[in-house]
A and B are shown apart, each in its own frame.
Chain A
Amino acid sequence: MTDSAKVLELLGKMKAAIDENAQFLTDLDAAIGDNDHGINMARGFKKVEEDLPGLSGKDVGAILKKVGMDLVSTVGGSSGPLYGTAFMKAGAKAAGKNEIGMDDFIAMMEEAIGGVQMRGKAVKGEKTMLDSMIPALDAMKEAAGAGKAAGDVLKAGVAAAEDGVEYTKGIIATKGRASYLGERSIGHQDPGATSFLVLLKAIAEEY
């Protein structure tokens, strides 16, 4: 079980992981986008971190809703409304809960991914964050269904997200800025798929 205090701690770890990878994410975006993904994500998580102290004692749903609002209002690029919607949807699923288990987490991820799809109108295979999110969710569902422990479920998610990031190298972008490059986007991994991997890894390392 993961309680609200642990969720706040995980958000701090996610912020640190984004900072650590900010330059890398921005460099990925320089190749097929507008050179700002790491900067955008770091700006968003900086605001999230500033707000963490004020969230202590709140339930998981309220915490994640605030995180989503912070990202929407500070990121400044597509990843803002996309991750923002994801966190808000996950928060809505966890409304009122002070503790969540792996089944809750999987249900929240499912809602979050649905939110990303609703907001960005993309499907799997368009070279976006969904290409690491969806395989990660599928792998986590499978691992949880097989009765694996939380740490192993998250590990399975991370491994699938890694494969998903790898897969984005071979496909053409048809959504987001990279779509302007058409076939020339092949050979490059998607920045958003990579930032999702970074975030999931930061969570998995704690279990």
Chain B
Amino acid sequence: MVGFVLVSHSRTLAEGAKELGLMMAPEVPVEAAGGLPDGGMGTDYQRIAEAIDKVAEVSDGILVIMDMGSSCMTTEMVLEDRGDALPKAVMVDCPFVEGTVAAMVSAAMGDSLETVKKAAEDAAGEKKF
């Protein structure tokens, strides 16, 4: 099953998005990597790397969802340093919350990493009302 790493400047936002995803897809592996070690706002290389390693142990592909700015750049560096270790980990550009929920539901149904990634991307075009 595809697993997830949620990268945010905010610990509570990452945890909250994880919680929302698990409501509909409780069996999907997901790690929240939010905030700095001191509890402040920001993105932490080490935290992201550890979350990816953890999810790697229990998934066959990892989708990494980021909020903005350094979340994307730091994740990119973690993935570059990881090289092409398996399972494969990819970043997706999508709305943080909606993309997480849509993609976790897709993963719960056993979809491939590619399909799960597409589900996250498609969330950008969804109208809420």
Q: How many residues of B contact A (CB 8 A)?
A: 14
Whether the pair A76, B44 counts as a contact (CB closer than 8 A) is: yes
Whether the pair B42, A81 counts as a contact (CB closer than 8 A) is: no
Min CB distance A84 to B, Å, is 7
Question: With a CB–CB cut-off of 8 A, which chain B residues contact A72?
Answer: 45, 74, 77
Question: With a CB–CB cut-off of 8 A, which chain B residues contact A177?
Answer: 69
Q: Is B90 an interface residue (CB 8 A)?
A: no
Min CB distance A176 to B, Å, is 6
Min CB distance B79 to A, Å, is 12
Whether the pair B41, A81 counts as a contact (CB closer than 8 A) is: no
Q: Which residues of A in the span 64-113 have a Cβ within 8 Å of any Cβ on B?
A: 72-73, 75-78, 80-82, 84-85
Min CB distance A50 to B, Å, is 15
Whether the pair B76, A119 counts as a contact (CB closer than 8 A) is: yes
Q: A176-B69, A177-B69 are in contact. Are A77 and B42 (CB under 8 A)?
A: yes
Whether the pair B70, A81 counts as a contact (CB closer than 8 A) is: yes
A34-72 interface mask toward B, CB cutoff 8 Å, 1 = contact, 0 = none? 101000100000000000000000000000000000001
Q: Is A120 an interface residue (CB 8 A)?
A: yes
Q: Is B36 an interface residue (CB 8 A)?
A: yes
Whether the pair B74, A80 counts as a contact (CB closer than 8 A) is: yes
Q: Is B124 an interface residue (CB 8 A)?
A: no
Whether the pair A34, B41 counts as a contact (CB closer than 8 A) is: yes
Q: Which residues of A in the span 173-195 have a Cβ within 8 Å of any Cβ on B?
A: 176-177
Whether the pair B41, A80 counts as a contact (CB closer than 8 A) is: no
Whether the pair A81, B44 counts as a contact (CB closer than 8 A) is: no
Residue from A73, A78, A120 in contact with B45 in the complex, judged by beta carbons closer than 8 Å: A73
Q: Is B86 an interface residue (CB 8 A)?
A: no
B36-48 interface mask toward A, CB cutoff 8 Å, 1 = contact, 0 = none? 1000111111100
Whether the pair A77, B76 counts as a contact (CB closer than 8 A) is: no
Q: A72-B74, A76-B36, A80-B74 are in contact. List 12 more A-B contacts (CB 8 A).
A: A34-B41, A36-B41, A73-B45, A73-B46, A75-B42, A76-B40, A77-B69, A80-B45, A80-B70, A81-B74, A84-B77, A177-B69
Binding site for B on A (CB under 8 A): 34, 36, 40, 72-73, 75-78, 80-82, 84-85, 119-120, 176-177
Contacts A/B (CB < 8 Å), 28 sampled = A34-B41, A36-B41, A40-B42, A72-B45, A72-B77, A73-B44, A73-B46, A76-B36, A76-B42, A76-B43, A76-B70, A77-B43, A77-B69, A77-B70, A78-B70, A80-B43, A80-B45, A80-B70, A80-B73, A80-B74, A81-B70, A81-B73, A81-B74, A81-B77, A85-B77, A119-B73, A119-B76, A120-B73
